[in-house]
Amino acid sequence: MKDSAPNLLQARRLGVITRHEAVAFVRADCPVCHSEGVSAHSQVTLIHGNRSVVATLFQVTSDW
């Protein structure tokens, strides 16, 4: 039986100035990204409460 629950990550602000573009940074070894099949420059939806935004995904390889 396949679990239909979405894979979730906790969001936080990093203080990166991107002008008016929504971006998301995740570690390259993130298990959620591997299980969902997303890679760098994929479009992802960020949801908080009843608001959402589509963001460009960037992968990082260092700790932050």
pLDDT digits (tens, 9 = 90+) for 2-27: 566 667 778 788 888 988 899 988 88
Q: Do residues 40 and 57 touch, judged by C-beta distance below 8 A?
A: yes
Which distant-in-sequence residues (6+ apart) come within 8 Å of 52 by Cβ? 45, 46
Question: What does the pLDDT read at residue 51?
Answer: 94
pLDDT tens, residue by residue, 20-62: 899 988 888 888 777 777 777 888 888 888 999 999 988 888 8
pTM, entire model: 0.69
Would you list the domain boundaries of the chain? Answer: 23-60
Q: Is the dihedral of CA 39, 42, 46, 50 positive or negative?
A: negative
43-48, strands of its sheet edge to edge: 23-27, 51-60, 43-48
